Amino acid sequence: MEREPLLISACLLGIGCRYDGGGQYRPEAAALLARYELVPVCPELLGGLPVPRPPAEIKGGRVVTAAGVDVTDAFRLGAERALELARRRGARRALLKDGSPSCGCTRVHDGEFSGRLVPGRGLAAALLTGGGIEAISEDGIGRLLEAAE
């Protein structure tokens, strides 16, 4: 059986690509291999940002670090490259790390570096959605597993 390509935030597979060099391993993500061809992606790395890097949040439509450095262009480039990868691989869906200024599907940090999450979308999640790719929060792993049965 040919497996459907599924773009997935690389950090959910335990790859240390987050701003702090860590991953956000979700063991249930490995179960997705039975149905999907997992295509790991980190839009921030695709945009040229290093690991580790200063944390960044969306504020006033821009992505900035706590020191006020504007990194919007790198986030935008990474989002564009993630969409290009999804299209090239034929992925119709993406499972993304919520809360991220790139991958947040339903919520992002508030832009004040307070640790508070607010409703919103990261740049990659928004661009993928606008490009016809269904962006699914990591909370949707169960739904993807059910669809695989």
Residue 41 has pLDDT above 80, yes or no: yes
Residue 137 has pLDDT above 90, yes or no: yes
DSSP string, 3-37: PEEEEEEGGGGT-S-STTS-----HHHHGGGGTEE
Q: What per-residue confidence (pLDDT) applies to 145?
A: 83
Residue positions counted in the chain = 149
pLDDT band at residue 148, thresholds of 50, 70 and 90? low
What does pTM read for this prediction? 0.95
Q: What per-residue confidence (pLDDT) applies to 149?
A: 60
Q: What is the DSSP letter of 140?
A: G
**CA 141 to CA 66: how far, in whole Å?**
31
Per residue in 73-113, pLDDT (tens digit) is 999 999 999 999 999 999 999 999 999 999 999 999 999 99
**CA 17 to CA 142: how far, in whole Å?**
24
Cross-strand pairs, 57: 64
Q: Is 124 helix (H, G, I), strand (E, B) or coil?
A: helix
**Tokens 């993500």 correspond to what residue?**
29
Residue 23 has pLDDT above 90, yes or no: yes
The pair of structure tokens assigned to 145 is 């597993």
Q: Where in the chain are the domains?
A: 4-148
